[in-house]
Amino acid sequence: MPKWIIYSALIILFTTCKGEKTVALDATNVFESKGIEIPVYDFESFKPLLTINDGKTRVVNFWATWCKPCVAELPYFELINSRYPDDKVEVILVSLDVPSQVESKLIPFVVKQKIESKVILLDDPDANSWIPKVSKNWSGSIPATIIYKNGTINFYERSFTYNELEKELKKML
Amino acid sequence: MKTLKILVGVAFIIAISAFALNKVSGTKIKGGYSIGDIATDFKLKNVDDSSVSLSDYDDAKGFIVIFTCNHCPYSVAYEDRIIALDLLYKEKGYPVIAINPNNPKAYPDDSFDNMKIRAKEKGFTFPYLTDDTQVIYPMYGATKTPHVYVLEKTTTGNIVRYIGAIDNNYKDASAATKKYVEDAVNALLKGKKVPVEVTKAIGCSIKA
């Protein structure tokens, strides 16, 4: 049994710099180890993250430590995260690692690779119900990425090079 | 890592149906089978070094073709269930045919030698074939492992009757409330329409 802290309904408050109305995402759990916190969401609690309408561009990458092409392109997402200002672009790395491997694989990976982007875990085994809600064009393979700002959303079921990723990001900025 | 707090302003919630596909996708497999299509036969090398084709199975009523592999945790999570499917349905005329579609250069775990080792370790009761020339999986349209195609054998060929996941809980077989492949094969055995014909699942991308 992994030693993670269970919050029956951890409320993560969302605030904006402008002090607008806030919304809460309810993480179902939080894994905490080596100074890293990974909040865990089921799809219902994760869903609002795909529809935030605050003028910021969000790059949401679905990945897992076991997914080789995902790991290969992570540095490009990290580079985007570091090169663009936080109030313009936010990178969110949505891990689909199995929960039993969060402490043994995911957190050590985040530590070793010094991942700066936000990492969260989407843990919802009934994928058939939620994959089409992310994109009706998604077959379920990863890597997959959403780039969105306000109501404009692009979905990519593919791998990226840095230049390709930045090109797609710039379409949105 | 940054703080847990995600900064968000919510003026409007945009309907998820507004998601648009960007057409730049380069790795997406075009085509592939839809329900009702005739699936191609193949001749692929099995872990016992024999060659296996669907046409070898004179008595089969159909097939449970599963694209799977060694390295993928989702495939590994389903191994016992794949064995159980074969044991349950082989005698009823629907044997499991497992195909590893990965390029072993991309995933050394998926090499033919490692397939042999895994098949032996787990006691696979079904053929575990290598699509090492990577010709068959694009024809089926498989994009990830595991990815299941239930075929019904007819006089005109093997008709695709179900495409997708094995069930609706990869983590825990006992927690699965929908057993898509079982439901599909049970319906076919009764001469009925498959209740859920297509499902989606997370899986490991097939590496060319």
Beta bridge partners of B163: B149, B198
Residues A77 and A58 sit within 8 Å (Cβ to Cβ): no
Q: How confident is the model at residue B9 (pLDDT cuts 50, 70, 90)?
A: very low
- Domain assignment of residue B150, yes or no: yes
The percentage of chain B sitting over the pLDDT mark of 70, rounded to a whole number, equals 86
The Cα B184–Cα B195 span in angstroms is: 7
- Give the number of domains in chain B: 1
- State how far the alpha carbon of B114 is from the alpha carbons of A76, B18, B99, B111, B197, in Å: 32, 44, 14, 5, 33
Read off the pLDDT of each residue in A154-166 and give the average, rounded to a whole number. Answer: 96
Q: Tell me which residue in A20, A99, A135 faces B19 most closely, judged by beta carbons.
A: A135
What average pLDDT is seen over chain A? 88
Least trusted range by pLDDT, from A10-14, A61-65, B112-116, B154-158: A10-14
Q: How confident is the model at residue A100 (pLDDT cuts 50, 70, 90)?
A: confident
Question: Which chain B residues touch A155 with a CB distance below 8 Å?
Answer: 19-22
Residue B14 pLDDT exceeds 60: no
Residue A143 pLDDT exceeds 60: yes
Q: Do A132 and B170 touch (CB under 8 A)?
A: no
CATH number at residue A100: 3.40.30.10
CA distance B167 to chain A (A): 9
pLDDT digits (tens, 9 = 90+) for B56-67: 999 999 999 999
Residue B12 pLDDT exceeds 90: no
pLDDT digits (tens, 9 = 90+) for B118-144: 999 999 999 999 998 999 999 999 999
- Domain assignment of residue A73, yes or no: yes
The helix or strand, by DSSP H or E, that contains position B62, with its residue range, turns out to be strand B62-67
pTM of the model: 0.80
- Give the number of domains in chain A: 1
- Domain assignment of residue B90, yes or no: yes
- Domain assignment of residue A22, yes or no: no
Least trusted range by pLDDT, from A12-26, A76-90, B55-69, B171-185: A12-26
Read off the pLDDT of each residue in B32-43 and give the average, rounded to a whole number. Answer: 96
- Domain assignment of residue A33, yes or no: no
Beta bridge partners of B154: B157
User: What is the CA A1 to chain-centroid distance, rounded?
Assistant: 25
Long-range contacts of B174-182 (CB under 8 A, 24+ apart): B175/A125, B178/A128, B180/A128, B180/B148, B181/B64, B181/B85, B181/B148, B181/B150, B182/B85, B182/B88
pLDDT digits (tens, 9 = 90+) for A25-75: 788 899 999 999 999 999 999 999 999 999 999 999 999 998 888 999 999
- Domain assignment of residue B1, yes or no: no
- The per-residue pLDDT for B171 is 87
- Domain assignment of residue A98, yes or no: yes
pLDDT digits (tens, 9 = 90+) for B106-119: 889 999 999 999 99
- The per-residue pLDDT for A112 is 96
- Domain assignment of residue B3, yes or no: no
CA distance B57 to chain A (A): 30
- The per-residue pLDDT for A23 is 53
- Locate the chain B residue with the closest alpha carbon to A20: B9
- Domain assignment of residue B59, yes or no: yes
pLDDT digits (tens, 9 = 90+) for B93-105: 999 999 999 999 9
- Domain assignment of residue B15, yes or no: no
- Domain assignment of residue B71, yes or no: yes
- The per-residue pLDDT for B28 is 39
Range of the domain at B86: 31-205
- Domain assignment of residue A108, yes or no: yes
Range of the domain at A103: 49-172
- Domain assignment of residue B24, yes or no: no
Strand B51-52 to B44-46 pairing: antiparallel
Q: How confident is the model at residue A24 (pLDDT cuts 50, 70, 90)?
A: low
Residues 26-65 of A with CB under 8 A from B: 30, 36-37, 39, 47-56, 64
